Amino acid sequence: MPHEHGMGRGPHHGWGPRARRASPPGQWEVTARVERVVEPALLLLLSERPMHGYELLDRLTALMNEGWMIDLGNLYRVLRGLEAEDVVRSAWDVGAPGPAKRVYEITPAGMMLLDQWGTALERTEIGIARFLARYRELRGGT
């Protein structure tokens, strides 16, 4: 029988649409999902200077930590989507040694979007801080 979210798996297999799963039954494995944080992180990095995909991947990993990694294929999909919305633009850099590389840069619309992301993430940070404070209080300050 398909899982209620259409994933085709039972409730104890894979991550599905949630950030937790039973593993083994009666215990939970939880991960903070960050798919939506990749976009503002890329915009932040590109606001510093134009970069090619591999450099963005390396810097994104350094910024977000290895637990929040994105694979190169997904990174390029996100970049293409941002480019389609005129949030970033790209051009081939044929002057550098080696094969030509597509270099991405943020646009003025991308800077406005980055500002909106910053505001939204600040609100989220406040909520997370409140949650963690109450959780730590519940757990005796640990």
pLDDT digits (tens, 9 = 90+) for 39-69: 999 999 999 999 999 999 999 988 887 666 7
What CA dihedral angle connects 96, 47, 64 and 71, to 10 degrees? Answer: -50
- Weakest mean pLDDT among 45-49, 85-89, 122-126: 122-126
pTM for the complete prediction?
0.74
Q: What is the CATH number of domain 35-138?
A: 1.10.10.10
Show the tokens assigned to 32: 């903070």
pLDDT digits (tens, 9 = 90+) for 98-123: 888 999 999 999 999 999 999 988 98
Break the chain down into helix, strand, coil percent, rounded to 5.
Answer: 50, 15, 35
Show the tokens assigned to 76: 């390029």
pLDDT at 34: 58
Helices and strands of the chain, counted as H and E runs:
4, 5
Contacts 24+ apart (CB under 8 A), 82-90: 82/39, 82/42, 82/43, 82/110, 85/109, 86/110, 87/43, 87/113, 88/42, 88/43, 88/46
Quote the DSSP letter at residue 14. Answer: S
Whether 131 shows a pLDDT value over 90: the answer reads: yes
